[in-house]
């Protein structure tokens, strides 16, 4: 039954190794899939913000698999995939399995046990702190960061700083959606950023 479902989803099963090529033929479709299955929620979590709600995408077997495949596509030679709490975890973990590499969580302050590196960054109101365990990477590991949405870029910049402090190399940032009008890309000038959809 699982094989049939994979066939219906028109994507390769998530059993590949890093050397396998992702399923071809969906690069153009994925933007349309995201447009259809990511919901705009006006004024969440506060007035004036249009929240990109990925829950309909996650709940759709074909859409979720297509998004994971597209995020993994073209990333040979990666050693670790980092997920950014919390929706980044949902996407990054299957991408890591697909690429045949390990998953590392970057978490909000106080969640990870043992010694951690911490980075604090500015939010519109106040600050936020993210952490990674000091032994999360091997020296020189090549890292793919994954999140659902790139907005102002503060979270991704802090995550990249953590990875570098932990002696690893940030190769790329993969996101479902880049909110281009917020200019996050400008804060990540040294990074290869790969959005599946740019709005
Ligand atoms: P930023 O640090 O501004 O790039 O914000 C990125 C983080 O906040 C990501 O982890 C996103 O999940 C979340 N985020 C920011 N803006 C939105 C939005 N409009 N819709 C959904 N998530 C968002």
Q: How far apart are CA 55 and CA 48, in angstroms?
A: 21
* Residue 37: strand, helix, or coil: helix
Scan for tokens 């950014």, then name that residue. 84
Q: In the predicted model, is pLDDT for residue 109 greater than 80?
A: yes
79 lines ligand 1 (CB under 6 A): no
Q: Which residue has the higher pLDDT, 154 or 22?
A: 154
Catalytic site includes residue 124: yes
24 with 11: CB under 8 angstroms? no
Q: In the predicted model, is pLDDT for residue 1 greater than 90?
A: no
CA of 150 to the centre of ligand 1 (A): 6
Interval 146-182: pLDDT, tens: 999 999 999 999 999 999 999 999 999 999 999 999 9
Residues contacting residue 151 through CB under 8 Å, at least 6 positions apart: 179, 182, 184
33 with 155: CB under 8 angstroms? no
pLDDT score for 124: 81
CA of 11 to the centre of ligand 1 (A): 28
Q: What is the pTM of this model?
A: 0.88
Q: In the predicted model, is pLDDT for residue 39 greater than 70?
A: yes
Scan for tokens 């995408």, then name that residue. 57
Interval 75-105: pLDDT, tens: 999 999 999 999 999 999 999 999 999 999 9
Structure tokens at 101: 């590499």
* Residue 122: strand, helix, or coil: strand
Q: Which of 87, 107, 142, 194 is catalytic?
A: 87
Q: What is the position in ligand 1's atom list of the atom closest to the CA of 154?
A: 2
């Amino acid at each position: 039954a699982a094989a049939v479902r994979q066939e219906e989803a028109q994507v390769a099963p998530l059993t590949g190794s890093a050397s396998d090529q992702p399923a071809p033929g969906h690069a153009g479709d994925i933007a349309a899939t995201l447009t259809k299955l990511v919901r705009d929620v006006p004024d969440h979590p506060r007035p004036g913000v249009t929240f990109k709600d990925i829950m309909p995408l996650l709940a759709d077997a074909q859409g979720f698999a297509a998004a994971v495949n597209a995020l993994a596509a073209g990333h040979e030679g990666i050693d670790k995939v980092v997920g950014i709490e919390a929706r980044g975890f949902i996407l990054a973990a299957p991408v890591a399995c697909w690429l045949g590499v390990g998953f590392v969580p970057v978490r909000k302050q106080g969640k990870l046990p043992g010694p951690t590196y911490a980075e604090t960054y500015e939010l519109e109101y106040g600050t936020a702190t993210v952490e990674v365990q000091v032994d999360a990477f091997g020296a020189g590991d090549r890292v793919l960061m994954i999140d659902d949405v790139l907005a102002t870029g503060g979270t991704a910049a802090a995550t990249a700083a953590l990875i570098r402090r932990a002696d690893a190399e940030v190769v790329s940032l993969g996101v479902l959606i880049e909110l281009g009008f917020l200019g996050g890309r400008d804060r990540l000038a040294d990074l290869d950023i790969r959005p599946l959809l740019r709005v």
